[in-house]
Amino acid sequence: MSRAGALALKQPPEPDRPALRAAAPRPVVSARGLCLTYEAADAPVRALADVDLDVAPGEFVSFIGPSGCGKTTLLRCVADLEQPTGGELTVNGVSAEAARLRRDYGFVFQAPALYPWRTIERNVALPLELFGVPRAERRERVARYLDLVQLSGFAKKFPWQLSGGMQSRASIARALCFDPKLLLMDEPFGALDEIVRDHLNAQLLALWRATAKTVLFVTHSIPEAVYLSTRVVVMSPRPGRIVDIVDCAGLGPERPLEIRESPEFLRLGQRVREGLRAGHAYDA
């Protein structure tokens, strides 16, 4: 008998072979008992309380909750822009600081935060310049991502020559252009009219499917959250706690905009709405 054959005979039946059991992939974001209290002049502000969450590679996780419940704070903790006051947080298995230093994520802020003295293309190119990407590749990438957010014709304009919605799209192109595996998006489409928002939602979904990025996405819109997400995290009023996590993966990866009228979509939206209500009751 060949050596390979002997080895094969020695192997136990499949279920008992640990190597064949699917190992859970390391979470991209892992929070345990995460708390953050801001030290304000008058009284401390408890922004986050006991947030436990694991986000697996390739997930699209939306955060929804009332204004001021700590959604931005949570994203800023992941980005190492705020220091949690309690609990544990890892990003790609390391501290948020180490992940930031490795440029593991792109951040799309609530306000577009573009430099007024730079043209749109030079704003989008900024991270690439900082990371030392050669000029020709910079040009190619900027053109590609400006095209994706439908701003090709505006490359030479300055931010103040664009509408608020166009500025938001430019900031999305800037976060995407260095191809980070983790994308943190804080109400990126909040300022856009509904038609543009629909279009960008569909584009973002296609991009997410094509690139296998992990996305953490803050929104106020229940349909936007359900449409985009594999999971929707519903948060309570401040201090932000997780009230419910709604699994939307059953909608499948292909989601034409019309899916929003399907019974399953409406059921998921209803569950998110109930979570938001329950969160309010919790705080009363």
The residue (of 119 and 167) whose beta carbon lies closer to Mg ion is: 167
The burial of 15, by beta-carbon neighbours within 10 Å (0-12 exposed, 13-18 middle, 19 or more buried), is given as exposed
The size of the interface with Mg ion (CB under 5 A), counted in residues, is: 1
Distance CA 152, CA 144 (A): 9
Taking CB under 6 A as the binding criterion, the range among 15-23, 38-46, 169-177, 201-209 that sits at the site for ligand ADP is 38-46
Sequence-ordered list of residues with C-beta below 8 angstroms from that of 98, at least 6 positions apart, any chain: 91
The residue (of 65 and 275) whose beta carbon lies closer to Mg ion is: 65
Among 29, 31, 47, 234, which residue sits at the site for ligand ADP (rule: CB under 6 A)? Answer: 47
Q: Which helix (H) or strand (E) holds 259?
A: none
Q: Which of residues 228-257 bind ligand ADP (CB under 6 A)?
A: 238
The size of the interface with ligand ADP (CB under 6 A), counted in residues, is: 13
DSSP secondary structure code for residue 56 in this structure: -
Residue with tokens 């502000």: 45
Distance CA 205, CA 145 (A): 15
Is residue 44 within the footprint of ligand ADP (CB under 6 A)?
no
Q: Which residue's C-beta sits nearest to Mg ion?
A: 72
Among 72, 167, 168, 236, which residue sits at the site for Mg ion (rule: CB under 5 A)? Answer: 72
Distance CA 202, CA 212 (A): 15
Taking CB under 5 A as the binding criterion, the range among 64-72, 92-100, 151-159, 175-183 that sits at the site for Mg ion is 64-72
Closest separation between CB of residue 220 and ligand ADP, Å?
9
Distance CA 155, CA 52 (A): 42
Taking CB under 6 A as the binding criterion, the range among 66-74, 115-123, 163-171, 258-266 that sits at the site for ligand ADP is 66-74
Given Mg ion, ligand ADP, none, residue 180, with its beta carbon under 5 to 8 Å by kind, binds none
Closest separation between CB of residue 238 and ligand ADP, Å?
5
Given Mg ion, ligand ADP, none, residue 38, with its beta carbon under 5 to 8 Å by kind, binds ligand ADP
Strand partners, 256: none
Among 32, 38, 157, 209, which residue sits at the site for ligand ADP (rule: CB under 6 A)? Answer: 38
Distance CA 53, CA 110 (A): 23
Closest separation between CB of residue 74 and Mg ion, Å?
9
Q: Which of residues 140-169 bind ligand ADP (CB under 6 A)?
A: none
- Strands lying side by side in the sheet with 231-235: 105-108, 182-186, 214-218, 60-64, 231-235, 242-247
User: Burial letters for 79-100: b for 16+ Cβ neighbours within 10 Å, e otherwise?
Assistant: bbebebbebebbbbeeebeebb
Residue with tokens 């400006």: 146
Closest separation between CB of residue 71 and ligand ADP, Å?
4
Interacting residue ranges for Mg ion, rule: CB under 5 A: 72
Interacting residue ranges for ligand ADP, rule: CB under 6 A: 38, 40, 45, 47, 65, 67-73, 238
